Amino acid sequence: MADTKAFVDVTDRRVLDKLVPVGSPHYVQMQALVIDIISLVPDNKIDLLCSISCAAATNFQCIDCTEIILQVVGKGKTEEWAVTYMLIAFYQAYGAVDNGSDAWQFMSGYLKIMFMIAARQDKHFAKIDKLGVRIRMALRPADPQRDILNELIRIHDQCDNLSSCLSSIRKYEISVKQEEATGKAANQYLASKVGQIRLAYEVVINNKAFIGKTYDKSAKRLKKAQSVVNTTTVIDGEPLQKKLFSTKQSRKSTNVATAENIADDNTPPLLDNNFKPIKQIAKSSELQQWKLKSSYQHASRNQFHFPTNHRQLSITGYQMLFSVLWHHFLSDNTEYQTGYAVLLLSLLSGISIDSVITDWQCNRSQRQYFVYDRTRKVSNIAITIDVTTNTRSHLLAHRQSYGSVFKRALPEVLQIMLEDKVAVSLDDVKLAINEVKNQLNLPALSAQYIESGLFVVIKNGLSKPLHADILTGVDVRHSSPLYYTSIKTADLEQTYIKAVALLSAYCDDEKKASLIDECSVSMNGHKSHVGSDMVLETSTCQQFFEQLAMSAESYNERLNHSIERYIAQFNSYSVWLWHTIMIQTGIRPVKHAPGLLNQLDFKRRLLWVSDKEERHGQSDGRLIPLSQFLAAAIQNYIDYIKQFAAIYNPICPETPYPLDAILQSEQSLIQIYQKNPKGFIGITPSRVRYELQDFFSHQDNWLRHQLRTMLTGRVPDYLICALYGHEHPDQEFMHPMSSSFINQLHQLNPHLDAIAKDLHLKQIEVRLYG
Amino acid sequence: MKNKTLRSTQKMLVLSSENLTIHPDANTAFMVWQQHRLPLRRPQLAGLDDYYRPVLRLCVLDKDNYQFFNNFARIDEVMRFENSWRQPCLIALESRHDIKRLAWCEVLNLSRFAGVNHPALFQAIYQSAPKQLVCELMGVHRLTVSNYCQFAGISRSSYEYQQCKVACDETLLGLPKNMNWMGSVHG
């Protein structure tokens, strides 16, 4: 008997050593504490043999919590010492261990789960760190995961054993998931986190085995494709390595997602050319001409879709095509039906025929485009816009977009077809195309014409290029505006219904009415906006600017006889102006933005900027209209800096403010004072980030997202693209062959001023005296 | 030893915030003056012939750099609006005591303006000025509120009335150091 006791002692001791390793800070006390807490709530369902005497009452008061946390983080042992870290953080938040407190009773159960997982001696052990992280993060101020912790404490309080806790946690997870999926609550990624905790409980209570994750190749490839670094081409038997740097700036100085920068700066690699020039030509001007020519061809083939493009049908052509297809689909025998269905699906979704077929051949749950909705029991078209995800927890609740998936309804007949996975042969599709080709007498009709159908209808028929890109699932890398726009789902739904109405114009009235009716079912629940994850709600943005303005104005009449406050005032005014320029011009937050004083023309109200890497043979910046608000703000700032120099420079001649250089456009207009090394330097995004520090943090170019979103729908899209420099090669607003004129840019001005008004921007009055 | 700076000279100089600094001995007085000055516009002298502009007293720092120590309001104007005009200057000999005196004179002159915050000005003088020098300039033995009121030509009661109006200096300067402002609407 005594032997088994000893054996149990040994195993318990080993588990404890795993949870709180020997050598971790205060491990004796921590181990005692773990036992203390576990034995707080007796649970006979789970036979935890806690035989180690806990006579050594934990004297916890003498331990310095902050010091331990610093030690854990400083040594980089947050994983190994996860339990210590978690308990200390919990102790800081909830005070001494107390039998009556709900929080500690919860912790008792939670630790029990951790203990059991550690006792299993398998790969589940990694969950201990995960569980610790969940609690630690929940304890951070204003973290959305706080809700999880509160709910867990509540659940543990109400349930009398861990197995009933598990079922409550499951219910909680389902409700959170549902809310996030329908857009009832802002998606703060809580469901997956509750899922982690639920899984840990399941492992212990249901004794689940460990199943490793298998990564599929496609995800890996996608990641690789986004960071182009090296390409090797064999030219005349000689390998030539070409290095492509994704952006001009290093990762250190910018926090803008790489994909976003690439989409802006680099043209997508040409996909359809295997041209290998010989050595002599490779370095000649001929090659450059070839590059120009092929990029033009690429663009004209893939991007333009002008009404005159002969690789597409006219609107009437598509209307006739659709009515014939629809007629055949409804009346034909089942043999050909799948072929017609594929063509119709491609016309309604704008997705290529190949993708339609591959998707259809998958199980309902694995589909990418024709997604099955379990709660509504319908299939719908889901377009995912591949935007940069925002994982800053403090911002999650304030984002405008509810994810980046837009769903729309399909006609019921097609939904029924999509119920099961079907082996679709390409021959059926070809036969169907041939059939309509002959019937409509369109000898050139091919799959390509059908695939571009929806795009042409929306772009040329409804003239909504941005909606066309979104609804047909154009890759964001081919359409940068998609990165920046958070768009109303209602608008997209309207456009889709209009497109369906336009497409089905040649069907008979009954069919047309039912088609429109079936396609106009809203599938997006409460999701009011989809798209860019960086855009914040207008009210949050208003508050942000209000705080900046208050900060700059707070120094008025409070300047004392130390120069420090003058400098602080100067910095906060500069930061305010920088942000105001960003929201009013949408320029990229590059170093020294917006540049020199001579780039501003107050008379014509124009700003010349060059904020991206120059592409070969093309472009030296672009013109941006200055709104009345911004022009006034900059002029006020110039008045201010003259006064500031008259006070600052006589006092601190060792680090002078370069007023003359600024006014003569030798140094950037907005400067900022830094402490190390002391002195004024041109403003950079990282300086701004430093100034805002604890106040706010976001991706540097978030105001670019914000402005793009606020402009969308107010102004014609081509003007926004001109403002942002999001134009296809040779289609630039300022291209020599362009029919637009500079003054057209000024159409943007009233809208920019309206946005300033919407955001409650006001001219601030920063006074140096009086 | 031949030292040019010992001779006082007259010169026409183009002055701007780049070549003009405050004399170290007048620094405190200048800061106090800046803090309490009033945003008054003075008569514009731009159209005057060079020789008729008011003369500025300066010290030489090195070849092209000069130091000023009085006439702050005029210097401020020069630096902000007239930085491309020639100004008649009197390059003075350096006498630290006199420089201090002239500089604090400027601060004391502020008390003559209506609208100046007398309690704050008195506080600043009391805290940062050399007592003996100020007393000497004001012609009093001790620096007290009543002496100051007498000097400024205001009554004690109006001084105390202003004192009551002073708002407390407790509100936040600059940006908040946390993100709580963001949640205030959404709760």
Q: For chain A, count helices (H), then strands (E).
A: 33, 12
CA-CA distance, A631 to A622, in Å (whole number)? 18
The candidate with the shortest Cα–Cα distance to A457, out of A493, A501, A506, is A501
Identify the band that residue B16 occupies on the pLDDT scale cut at 50, 70 and 90: confident
CA-CA distance, A452 to A439, in Å (whole number)? 20
Q: Distance (Å) from the C-alpha of residue B61 to the closest C-alpha of chain A?
A: 12
Q: What is the pLDDT of residues A29-46, one digit of tens each?
A: 888 888 888 887 776 555
Find the closest chain A residue to B15 by CA distance. A646
A595, pLDDT greater than 90: no
CA-CA distance, B18 to A328, in Å (whole number)? 84
Identify the band that residue A261 occupies on the pLDDT scale cut at 50, 70 and 90: low
The sign one gets for the Cα dihedral A555, A561, A564, A566 is positive
CA-CA distance, A176 to A157, in Å (whole number)? 20
Q: Are strands B56-60 and B86-91 parallel, antiparallel or unpaired?
A: parallel
- Provide the chain B residues 56-115 that lie in CB contact (below 8 A) with chain A: 65, 68, 75-76, 79-80
Mean predicted lDDT score pLDDT of chain B: 84
Contact check, Cβ <8 Å, B182/A398: yes
The candidate with the shortest Cα–Cα distance to A40, out of A91, A101, A108, is A108
A725, pLDDT greater than 90: no
Contact check, Cβ <8 Å, B179/A651: no
pLDDT score at A606: 93
Identify the band that residue A252 occupies on the pLDDT scale cut at 50, 70 and 90: low
Q: Is B164 on the interface with A (CB under 8 A)?
A: no
Q: What is the DSSP letter of A485?
A: -
Q: Is B166 on the interface with A (CB under 8 A)?
A: no
Contact check, Cβ <8 Å, A646/B80: yes
At residue B21, what are phi and psi to the nearest 5 degrees? -130, 165
Contact check, Cβ <8 Å, B39/A651: no
Helix (H, G, I), strand (E, B) or coil at A242: strand
Burial of B46: CB neighbours in 10 Å, binned 0-12, 13-18, 19+: exposed
Please report how the helices A563-585 and A685-692 are oriented relative to each other, as an axis angle in degrees rounded to 10: 120
The candidate with the shortest Cα–Cα distance to A589, out of A477, A523, A532, A670, is A670
pLDDT score at A516: 93
Q: What dihedral do alpha carbons A235, A239, A240, A241 form, nearest 10°?
A: 140
- Provide the chain B residues 26-55 that lie in CB contact (below 8 A) with chain A: 27-28, 30-32, 34-39
In angstroms, the first-to-last Cα distance of chain B is 77
Q: What is the pLDDT of residues B146-180, one digit of tens each?
A: 999 999 989 999 888 888 776 555 567 888 888 88
- The lowest-confidence range among A92-106, A402-416, A424-438 is A92-106
Helix (H, G, I), strand (E, B) or coil at A177: helix
The candidate with the shortest Cα–Cα distance to A701, out of A598, A568, A612, is A612
- Provide the chain A residues 673-712 that lie in CB contact (below 8 A) with chain B: 691-696
CA-CA distance, A639 to B10, in Å (whole number)? 32
A51, pLDDT greater than 70: no
Name the percent of chain A lying above pLDDT 90: 40
Residues of chain B with C-beta less than 8 angstroms from the C-beta of A696 = 179, 182
Q: What is the pLDDT of residues A435-494, one digit of tens each?
A: 899 999 988 898 889 999 999 999 999 999 999 999 998 888 778 899 999 999 999 999
CA-CA distance, A516 to A502, in Å (whole number)? 10
pLDDT score at A331: 87
Q: Which helix (H) or strand (E) holds B162?
A: helix B156-165
CA-CA distance, A346 to B45, in Å (whole number)? 78
DSSP letters spanning B117-138: -HHHHHHHHHHHS-HHHHHHHH
Q: What is the pLDDT of residues A292-336, one digit of tens each?
A: 776 666 665 555 677 777 778 899 999 999 999 999 998 877 677
Q: What is the pLDDT of residues A615-664, one digit of tens each?
A: 444 456 788 999 999 999 999 999 999 999 999 999 998 999 999 999 99
CA-CA distance, B44 to B48, in Å (whole number)? 9
Neighbours of A158 (CB within 10 A): 11
Q: Where are the beta strands (DSSP E) in A195-305?
A: 230-235, 238-243
Contact check, Cβ <8 Å, A543/B181: yes
- Say which residue the tokens 């958070």 belong to: A486
Identify the band that residue A249 occupies on the pLDDT scale cut at 50, 70 and 90: very low
Q: How many residues does chain B have?
A: 187
Residue A408 β-bridge partners: A381
CA A174 vs CA A146, A193, A401, A402, A455: distances in Å: 18, 12, 22, 18, 38
CA-CA distance, A169 to A156, in Å (whole number)? 10
**A757 neighbors A518 (Cβ within 8 angstroms):** no
Find the closest chain B residue to A697 by CA distance. B179
Q: Averaged over A670-692, what is the pLDDT?
A: 92
Identify the band that residue A247 occupies on the pLDDT scale cut at 50, 70 and 90: very low
pLDDT score at A672: 95
- Say which residue the tokens 């362009």 belong to: A738
Q: What is the DSSP letter of A715?
A: B
Identify the band that residue B112 occupies on the pLDDT scale cut at 50, 70 and 90: confident
**B50 neighbors B103 (Cβ within 8 angstroms):** no
pLDDT score at A271: 45
Identify the band that residue A369 occupies on the pLDDT scale cut at 50, 70 and 90: very high
**Tokens at A714, concatenated:** 């107010």
Name the percent of chain B lying above pLDDT 70: 90
Tell me how far the alpha carbon of residue B29 is from its chain's centroid: 6
The candidate with the shortest Cα–Cα distance to A667, out of A679, A658, A654, is A658
CA-CA distance, A321 to A313, in Å (whole number)? 9
Q: Averaged over B68-89, what is the pLDDT?
A: 88
Find the closest chain A residue to B83 by CA distance. A660
Q: Which of B18, B173, B177 sits opposite A695 (nearest CB)?
A: B177
pLDDT score at B117: 86
**Tokens at A269, concatenated:** 């690699």
CA-CA distance, A318 to A457, in Å (whole number)? 8
Scored b (16 or more CB within 10 A) or e, B143-180 reads beeebbbebbebeeeebeeeeeeeeeeeeeebbeeeee
A750, pLDDT greater than 50: yes
ipTM comes to 0.89
Residues of chain B with C-beta less than 8 angstroms from the C-beta of A392 = none
Q: What is the pLDDT of residues A497-518, one digit of tens each?
A: 999 999 999 999 999 999 999 9
Contact check, Cβ <8 Å, B174/A554: yes
**A766 neighbors A751 (Cβ within 8 angstroms):** no
pLDDT score at A544: 95
Residue A674 β-bridge partners: A679
CA atoms within 13 A on the CB side of A68: 24
pLDDT score at A215: 62
pLDDT score at B187: 37
Q: Which of B17, B39, B179 sits opposite A394 (nearest CB)?
A: B179
Contact check, Cβ <8 Å, B185/A547: no
Give start and end residues of each alpha helix (H) in A520-627. 538-553, 563-585
DSSP letters spanning A343-390: HHHHHHH---HHHHHHHHTS-GGG-SSEEEETTTTEEEEEEE--PPP-
**Tokens at A154, concatenated:** 């509540």
Q: How many residues does chain A have?
A: 770
Q: Which of B28, B80, B175 sits opposite A642 (nearest CB)?
A: B80
Residues of chain A with C-beta less than 8 angstroms from the C-beta of B181 = 543, 547, 695
Contact check, Cβ <8 Å, B18/A659: yes
Mean predicted lDDT score pLDDT of chain A: 84
Strand order in the sheet with A600-601: A600-601, A606-609, A622-625
pLDDT score at A262: 58
**Tokens at A102, concatenated:** 């709900």
Q: Is B172 on the interface with A (CB under 8 A)?
A: yes
Contact check, Cβ <8 Å, A646/B79: yes
A245, pLDDT greater than 70: no
**A31 neighbors A20 (Cβ within 8 angstroms):** yes
Q: Which of A647, A656, A769 sits opposite B39 (nearest CB)?
A: A769
Residues of chain B with C-beta less than 8 angstroms from the C-beta of A767 = 39
CA-CA distance, A85 to A133, in Å (whole number)? 9
Name the percent of chain A lying above pLDDT 70: 84
CA B136 vs CA B122, B128, B132: distances in Å: 16, 16, 6
- The lowest-confidence range among A92-96, A244-248, B14-18, B19-23 is A244-248
Is the previous residue joined to A750 through a cis bond, with omega within 30 degrees of 0? no
A566 Cβ neighbours under 8 A, 6+ residues apart: A559, A644, A647, A648, A768
